[in-house]
Amino acid sequence: MKKDILIYFNLITSLKTVEEVNELSSELDSLTSSLFKSEKMNLEEALSSIRENSAKAIMEIFLKNKLDLADKEVIQDFLKTLKNLMQKFKVIKLVLAFEPTHQTIDKIHNYIFENIGIGYILDIEVDETILGGSVVIFNGKYKDFTLRKILDDTFKEKREQILA
């Protein structure tokens, strides 16, 4: 299985946010438990217990790479490797002033993918008090690029000029 690590590429790069990763992770858990509930249960049947999109993506990997849908050892190995890969994601936390649409999240994630690489997901928090811009938190570093901070600094620096 190790040699085929690239088979996960499409699935991994399709995950963009912490919520998506958490959802897929719990789906993998339920998939594992339903698979081993009975001897006769195969992957196709078990996939019906999770979201259609996720089921489709997993099925695609199995078919494309000609993996045995009935071999439970192969399936278990697949699920385990996928979970391990998902735990290695690094989280970039963004504080935004608005609730981002899917397109916005895609755009941000694509930017990260192109400029930093694979293995990064977004944790988005909405805080309207920042007015605009964003706070970026990554690896314990905190960078405030918000409109609120710019205004605060301006008021601090040019208080007398503004009040005059």
Partner 1 sequence: MKDFKFYLDLVSEIGFVDKAGSAIMHVNGLPNVKPDEIVIFETGEIGMVLSFDPNIVEVLVFSKNPIAHGTKAVRTNEFLKVPVGLELVGKIIDPLGNPLTAMDSYKKPSSSRSINNPAAGILSRKTITKQLETGVPIVDLVMPLGIGQRELIIGDRKTGKTNFLMQAILAQTKQKHMCIYAAIGKKRLDIKEAEDFFKKNNISDKIIFVASGFDDPIGLTYLVPFAAMTIGEYFRDQGYDVLLALDDLTTHAKFYREISLLAKRFPGRNSYPGDIFYTHAKLLERAGNFVIEKGEKAITCLPVVETTQGDLSGYIQTNIMSMTDGHLYFDSDLFAKGRRPAINPFLSVTRVGRQTQSTLKRDINREILSFLTISEKMQNFTHFGAELTESTKVTLAVADKVVKFLDQAPAATTMPINLSLLLFSMLWDNILQNKNIQPIGPDIDKIIEVYNSKPQVSKEIDQTIENTQSFNDFLKTMREKGEKLLESLKI
Residues that bind partner 1 (CB under 8 A): 137, 139-144, 149
The backbone region for 56, taken as left when phi is positive above 0, alpha when psi lies in -120 to 50, beta otherwise, is alpha
Least distance in Å: CB of 137 to partner 1? 6
Number of other residues whose CB lies within 10 A of the CB of residue 138: 15
In 10-140, DSSP assigns E strands to 90-96, 120-126, 133-138
Least distance in Å: CB of 142 to partner 1? 4
Q: Which is nearer to partner 1, 38 or 129 (CB)?
A: 129
Number of other residues whose CB lies within 10 A of the CB of residue 70: 9
Least distance in Å: CB of 107 to partner 1? 25
Q: Which is nearer to partner 1, 129 or 161 (CB)?
A: 129
Least distance in Å: CB of 116 to partner 1? 17
Q: Which is nearer to partner 1, 113 or 138 (CB)?
A: 138
> What is the C-alpha to C-alpha distance for residues 32 and 83, in angstroms, rounded to an integer?
11
> What is the C-alpha to C-alpha distance for residues 61 and 43, in angstroms, rounded to an integer?
12
Q: Which is nearer to partner 1, 77 or 123 (CB)?
A: 123
Least distance in Å: CB of 95 to partner 1? 11
Q: Which is nearer to partner 1, 72 or 148 (CB)?
A: 148
Question: CB under 8 Å to 97, separation ≥6 — which residues?
Answer: 126, 127, 128, 129, 130, 131, 132, 133, 134, 146, 147
